[in-house]
Every structure is written in C-alpha cells, then in structure tokens.
Structure 1
Amino acid sequence: MVIPDYQRAYTWDVAKVQELLQDWEEYIASSPKQTYYMGSVLLFANTKDANFQIIDGQQRLTTLTLIYYQLFGSLLKGQNVQYNQSVSGFNIAKNLNFAKQSIARLEKLKDSEIFHKLEFTVIVSDNQDHAFAFFDSQNNRGVSLGVDDYLKAYHLRALPEKLQEQKAKSWEDITFKARKEDNHLLDLKHLFNEILFKVRQWKGQSHFPYPNKTEVLTEFQKNTYSTETKNAFRLFPNNNNMRYHQLEYTDNGVLLVSAEKPLAKKDYPFAIRQPIYKGQNFFDYTDKYHAIFRFLFNTKEQKSLEIENALHFYNALYTKDMSEYLRYYMQMCLVAYYDNFKEELFFKAIQYFDYYLGAIRLEKYYVRQEAIKNSLKNASNSLLDVICNAYLPNEVFSFINKAKATESIYVNNGFLNGKKEVKNKVIDRYIQRLCKLYHKDIDNRLIEVKSRKQWIA
C-alpha cells in the first residue's frame, strides 16, 4: 500500500488523535457490542506495480498505524508505507510520542478489542482517471462531501439498537427525496453547512468560522452533550416552548410532549441555537429544521397564503442570477425567523430582509462570502443575533429600520460607479426584478429604488 505523490501530507495533530481516543472510549462505554464506523477509504488498484494507492483515508489509516505500532510493537503486513514530506514526518513523530504517553488508555482500548470493532467502507478503483476525479472532488468541494454521513454514523451509536434502523431509514429518505426531486438545497448537507452551522456559530461581531468539514463536525459531534437519562432530554425556554422542561420518549422512540395530538416535526419545541444532545435529540433537532426548510422553500409543500406570498417573493428576486451567498443568507434569516415567530408577519419579514440584504447586492461589485461576514461585523448588531433573540417581530423590523448605512446605499446611489452608471449588469437586473415585483416604473428604476424602504407593505 502506498501514498501517491499528489496526496497531501499527514496533517493530523495531537488534538485530533486525542479526539479519536475520547470518541472510542465513549463508544466502548455506551455501545461495546456494536461496530465503530470509521468512514470510507478509497484505493486505486495499481496492477502495474502490484500495490494499492491510498486516495482517500490517509489521515485515519496513518493514525491507526501509529496506535497499532505503539500497542503491538510492529506493523501489519503491507503497512510499510513511506512518507516523503517533512510535514508528515513531524506530525508522525509528535503523534507517536503522544501515543507513548497515552499507553494506559491504549491498553484499555486494546482489552476492549477496539481494532476488531472498527468498520470501513472500502472502495477500490482499477481506473486511475476515476481515482483522480474522486480525489479532486473530495479536495475541491470540501464541506459538501460526507458531513451528513459522518453525523448519521456518529449519532446512531448513541441510540438503542432497535431505533438505529428506524432513524437511519428516516435520514436516508430525506437524501433520497432531495435526489429524486433534483434539488440539492433539500438535502442534509446544505442544511448543516449553509443554515444550521452558520446560524449557530455566526454570533456577535467578531468570529465567523467558515463551515468546512472539520468545523461542522465539531459543532454537531464534539459540541453535543451526553445525557444520563435514557429516554429524556432537557428542553430550553424559547418562543416555541414556554411550558415544558423535559422531552420524553417511549422505548420505540415516539416523542412525548403532552397528551394532546402529536406535534408536526416543524413544531418541535426546540430553538435553533440551543444545546444538542447526542442520539435521539440530535435526530429530532435535524428533523425539525429540515421540515422547516422544506416547508419554506419546496414549492410542492402546502402552505398558507402568508408563506405562499413570501415564497413567491423569494423566487422572483433570489434567482440564480443572485449571488448564492445572498441566497443562503436570506435562507438563514427566514429559517431563524420562522423558528422564532412561525408565520407571524412572515411576508413583511422577507421584505425587510431583502431591503437589508439587497443593499449588500447594490453596494458590492461582486458579492463574496466576506461581504456577508462584514455586514454582520460592521452593523450595530448582528442581524442573525437580532432575529434569534427578539421577543417580537417588530424588534427585528425596528433594527433594520434604524440601519442608516443600509438606507444610505439606496438614497445616495451606492449602486452607481464614478460615471453615474450602475456598477454592473447583475446589479441592474436585480433592480429591475425589484421594480417589476413592486409594480414600479422600470424605465425610471434608478430614481424609484431610492425609496426602497417605503415599498415594504
């Protein structure tokens, strides 16, 4: 088995190895009879040199090799892999030293036969072009690959065995529907990467981490909590829950809140920024926000007139011609708002959000991720914080009304360049869509749009 030259160096640090050992220890304590899923490994079968090239999985396999060597003093047959990069040598030395210092922990894991319980999905390709293509997609698309699979496998281990199949099937049904409808926005990768992670992590006005795979898995794996009570989880006060302190389940995983009729998933008494518990609570939390997202953005879902008007507004303005960063920002705002206030003044809310976000579109020649982060940093308060913390919709509207920098862009022609022309055609097309939607004079749009705030009904 060899590592091809185009592979990156071995980069796992001591913190990552420590996290793996902790996860193993939790697994042994809670589910000792089940297998521990280590994810997928992709190999290229090089028949010319009679070896396998590691395309994906080098970090995990190297770490396991170091642990195995520390425990048994030798390598398994075929593990004589060579590392040609100095970074790899540095990290291997540090992690091997850490393994030596952790020998007592490793011996306990050895006694639990941890190596016999590890499970991989092994993919072997005999076509080098296909292997390269897969490697490129893994490294270029980053966060969009595998996040949902890792989360599912991690939290299934915290469930009783009889519930695992039920939750796994429900999870896969969501993925299948998104693919069947050819709408990646309805899959779980998009939900975690572009909505839940950002709403939960983009707080205050200083730190806005980008949702790469490591960050997302840390938030929804490492940062989740264990509970000592088998079938109950703590609830937290919020607009969706002013009555109950604990959520209970039957042995079959049925959610119990009261003797009243069962709650729809989108009405579960959770808050989007609340702490999450491992297992059942994580799956129900996911179900709620996927149900909300699907309700708001899937045209096939039956909706009230309030939501239908908002969806029509969104589809008219937030087309593919609009920056995807602004589209996702709007989605975050709407999911967070619905979570807090349900349908109350929802159509008015999307108009206010577009007035606020639209100013970013008008001001910037190109809208990048940093433009969204800067809009959160440079305002008197973060819009996401305001939405999540407000008690009344009018608190959100008042915050946007008072945004002088936003109003200035419209009133003072912040969308024009030095030649008094619209900065680019994308901006002009957005202004035209706005005027058409609000029945304003498109030919006179540069004057009309100055009074944009007054258009909100």
Structure 2
Amino acid sequence: MAIVSNQAQTISQLLEQSLIIPKYQRPYKWQPKNVNQLIDDIFNHRSKPCYRLGTVVLHQDKDSKSEQEKTDLNIVDGQQRLLTLTLLCSILDEKEKKISSSLLDHKFESSISIENLKNNAQIISERVASLSATEKKELLDFVLNKCELIQVTLDDLSEAFQFFDSQNARGKALAPHDLLKAYHLREMMDSTEQTERLHHVSLWEQGVNPDQGDNPKDAPANLHTIMGEFLFRMRRWIGGDYGIQFSRHNIDVFKGINLDSTQYAYVDAMLALDYAIETFNADPTRKWDKQTKGYPFQVDQVMINGKRFFEYIQHYMAIHSTLFVGKDARLSSFVDMHAKYRGSNRKGDSYVRNLFLCAVMYYYDKFGDVELNKAAQICYRWAYFLRLDLQRIGMESVDNHAKARNGLFRAISKAVHPQQVLNFQPPYKEPNFSNAKDVQASIEAMKSGSVNE
C-alpha cells in the first residue's frame, strides 16, 4: 500500500496543511450528541500532556499537474471530526483570530452540511460561553498542541478507500451503505472519469437524504430503507436465506464481480450486454433522438461492481417510487385500501406490510405491469396470511414465511409467465382474534373476485 506518511500530528499541524473536502465526500452530519461527546472528551482529558483523538485518512494526488494540487490533501476519512475541531478552535479563538485553516474557506454546497455546521457552532459557543478568557486560551492551547490525530496519507485514492474500509471494519462501525459506497467507488477508479464518479456520488447522497417536499408522506424512501428493507431482503429471501437485518457484516450481498477483470464463462453474457448498452448510448445519433438505454437489472442478479452498482440502487429506488410513492403510484390506491387499516401501524403489521411490498416489487421487477393488480392480490393474500395466523408477529416469523421453499418468492423466481404466479395458492385460515378482521375482509373479497382491478 502506497502510504506516504503515517504519524501522529497535533491538531495545529493538521490544520496548517492544505486540507480539501473532495466532492465525493458525504455531507457534514454530526449531531449535537456527537459534538457534545467530543467536547466532553476534551474537557475530561485536558490535564493530560497528550490526548489522541483517532485517525484521519488523507489522499495526496501523485498525478496532479500543478504544484498546489500536489500539496493538497483530500480528506477520505475524518471529515466530521476535523470540521468539528476546526469549529471549536475558531470559536475559542474568535477574538485573537490567529487560527487559519483551509477548511474555514471551504464553500459548502450541501444544505445538510450548512445547517449542521450552524447548529453545532451554536452548541460549541454555548458550551464555552462560561469560560473566562484565560480558560479559553488554555483550552485552545490544549486542543491545538496536545490533542493529536494519527494522519495516514496515501498517494493512491483506491488504496485510501481500501484503508478507510478496513479501518472502519475493525473500529467504529459505519453504516453498511457508507462502506459499500467506498468499496464501489474504489472499483470505479480505473474504468471511469472523475465527473462520472462525482455524478454517482451526488445521486447517492440525494438518496441518503431525499427531498421531503411539501408532503413528507409522499416523499420517496431513503437509500437506507431501499437497501436494508427491500433489496437486501429480496436478494436473501429469493435464495431462501436469512433476511432480517442488513448490517456491515453482510454487505457482501451487494458485492459481486468487476467486468474488466473477471474471466469466468458466465460473465461473458453480462460483458456483452454491458458493451452493447455502452455502444448504443455512445452512438452520435443519441445526440438528437435523446434515446438512451439503462442496464436491464434484475433484483437477484450477480452484482456488477462499480458504476453498475450505483445504477442498480437508483433503478430500484425509482421502481419503489413508481409502485408505492404518491397518489399517482401504480399501486397507491391498492395499498391505501388494503394495507392501511385499524392497527396497521403496529410493529408486527408493518413487518407484514414490508413483506407484501417486497413481493410485489419482485413481481414487477420480473413481469412489469402485466397483470400487476392480480399479482398484487396474490402477494397480499400470501403475506397477510401471517396476520390471520398469528396474533403477535415478529420479524423472525416474517423471515421464515418469506424464505420458505413453498413460498411466493420461490414461485416468482421459477415463473416464466405471469400466469404461473397468478396460479399460486396462498394459504388461508379463519382468524381466532379480532385484530385481523379488516385483513380477513380484504382477503375474502379478493378470493371472491369482488376487488376492483
């Protein structure tokens, strides 16, 4: 690994360097609890001769053309802590104004970053407001000259991401989607231009924090939900595997092959399809007909690393919105009529609702609009059987139902035509408890054919 340096640096030494927040970085997201924890740590250890605050990973671009760019250090890991420390030092030094850092000049474009920086600056100001001028000076001296971070600088961005990934796998756990973002960006380094990588990162961050609009209830699901409660579960359940909780321990579900370096026989068809789509979209004719083709993803396919992974996630976020989000969604009225009833907000009922939505999404992924409403009825009857069968529903019961060999996911997986799914016979029973009456009425109406399509 091309490590340029790996040494302890005081906060003063770090902030004196030309630190850059690259555009692929996520927004500044530290909340009050994170800021207060850092300040508490500093207050509790300020009598020590030295206090170490963790590690930062930086990337120095060895291929930069200008001398300035060669001295710039892109922050790969540690942005949240560095920005908070910069805020703290700047506020403690507001009268002297001796603190100078490139981070103070950074122009933030994300509204999330701007809002969090304002809020956290207010929190820090309130925390140090009661200190005397002398105490502020002493605290600033401690932070700048006695607090340290291990600075790991690498001259290869791919290896910097790899180091970032491995550090967080061993230490404080990041969200699984953050680890996957780093992994697939690394897979893109040799095959895509920077502008394309930044484009995918921008869409990714929008997915993490989608625009809520005027009506949050009609806002699209965020990326965590789509990955953890839909794609992860579908990919696992289709194969008959555990799908309860998506975590950093099972992110391999979203890792696959690199088309540029994998030479297995089964990859040839995927490589040919990838080439055909790239060739079609690169045709000069597209400049006037504006017709482009997206990769024809299937939810349970072998994952293609790199940009196709990011496109895969965006594709299924769009499908989820098409089916369920807003009054114009394909199945909006069906869901409102049958999945929203007295008690539908109970935890167990929300698990069943997710199972139903996953099944519908899997059917739509395979057969599109063909017989969609009839298929939705089959999915509903199969998923909500659990509401008839069990008075209390846990996620384990849902998981067992979903991955069963005789279940609907397996039936959709094997189906070649929609009718094979419509022929599926969901189990049924008369419920022995009152909290299933509305569901029972919906299922009986579907069985009798009285539900409007």
| 1:361 match | 387
Deviations 1:1-21 (A, max 9, x none): xxxxxxxxxxxxxxxxxxxx9
| 2:419 match | 394
Alignment of 1:395-414 (within 5 A): 395-398=420-423, 400-401=424-425, 403=426, 406-407=427-428, 409=429, 413=430
Q: Which amino acid aligns with 2:311?
A: D
Change (3 A) 1:189 1:247: farther
| 1:164 match | 197
Q: Does 1:428 align with 2:431?
A: no
Q: Which amino acid aligns with 1:389?
A: K
Equivalent position to 2:45, from 42, 50, 68: 50
Equivalent position to 1:120, from 78, 82, 99: 78
| 1:225 match | 257
Note if contact 2:232-2:246 (Cα within 8 Å) is conserved in structure 1.
no
Change (3 A) 1:382 1:428: closer
| 1:211 match | 245
Deviations 1:186-213 (A, max 9, x none): 21111100111111112454x3142232
The whole-number CA distance in structure 1 between the counterparts of 2:409 and 2:182 is 30
| 1:240 match | none
Q: Which amino acid aligns with 1:218?
A: D
| 1:249 match | 278
Structure 1 residue 294 displacement after superposition: 0.8
Q: Which amino acid aligns with 2:336?
A: N
Note if contact 1:317-1:430 (Cα within 8 Å) is conserved in structure 2.
yes
| 2:318 match | 291
TM-score of the two chains, using structure 2 as the length reference: 0.56
| 1:107 match | none
| 1:152 match | 181
Equivalent position to 1:280, from 307, 321, 333: 307
| 2:296 match | 269
Q: Report which structure shows greater RCO (CA 8 Å, sep ≥6).
A: 2
Structure 1 residue 235 displacement after superposition: 8.0
The whole-number CA distance in structure 2 between the counterparts of 1:37 and 1:288 is 22
Deviations 1:251-287 (A, max 9, x none): xx9678x97863576xx41111111222211111112
Note if contact 1:341-1:393 (Cα within 8 Å) is conserved in structure 2.
yes
Note if contact 1:235-1:247 (Cα within 8 Å) is conserved in structure 2.
no
Structure 1 residue 175 displacement after superposition: 4.1
| 1:3 match | none
Deviations 1:82-119 (A, max 9, x none): xxxxxxxxxxxxxxxxxxxxxxxxxxxxx9xxx99752
Alignment RMSD: 4.5
What secondary structure, in the 3-state scheme, does the structure 2 residue paired with 1:211 have?
Answer: coil
Which stretches in structure 2 are left out of the alignment for 5+ residues? Answer: 4-20, 55-61, 63-72, 85-119, 128-172
Q: Does 1:187 align with 2:210?
A: no
Structure 1 residue 245 displacement after superposition: 6.4
| 2:236 match | 201
Structure 1 residue 229 displacement after superposition: 6.8
What secondary structure, in the 3-state scheme, does the structure 1 residue paired with 2:78 have?
Answer: strand
Q: Does 1:385 align with 2:393?
A: no
What secondary structure, in the 3-state scheme, does the structure 2 residue paired with 1:227 have?
Answer: coil
Note if contact 1:329-1:372 (Cα within 8 Å) is conserved in structure 2.
yes
Change (3 A) 1:235 1:167: farther
Q: Which moved more, 1:341-350 or 1:364-373?
A: 364-373
Structure 1 residue 164 displacement after superposition: 2.0
Q: Does 1:314 align with 2:349?
A: no
Structure 1 residue 347 displacement after superposition: 0.5
Structure 1 residue 371 displacement after superposition: 1.6
Structure 1 residue 244 displacement after superposition: 4.2
| 2:51 match | 78
TM-score of the two chains, using structure 1 as the length reference: 0.56
Q: Which moved more, 1:41-50 or 1:316-325?
A: 41-50
What secondary structure, in the 3-state scheme, does the structure 1 residue paired with 2:38 have?
Answer: strand
| 1:455 match | 449
Note if contact 2:360-2:376 (Cα within 8 Å) is conserved in structure 1.
yes
Q: Which amino acid aligns with 2:411?
A: V
What secondary structure, in the 3-state scheme, does the structure 1 residue paired with 2:380 have?
Answer: helix
Q: Which amino acid aligns with 2:395?
A: Q
Equivalent position to 1:339, from 359, 365, 377: 365
Note if contact 2:377-2:446 (Cα within 8 Å) is conserved in structure 1.
no
Structure 1 residue 51 displacement after superposition: 5.0
What secondary structure, in the 3-state scheme, does the structure 1 residue paired with 2:375 have?
Answer: helix
Deviations 1:427-455 (A, max 9, x none): 123335x28xxxxxxxxxxxxx4x75233
What secondary structure, in the 3-state scheme, does the structure 2 residue paired with 1:299 have?
Answer: coil
The whole-number CA distance in structure 2 between the counterparts of 1:336 and 1:275 is 16
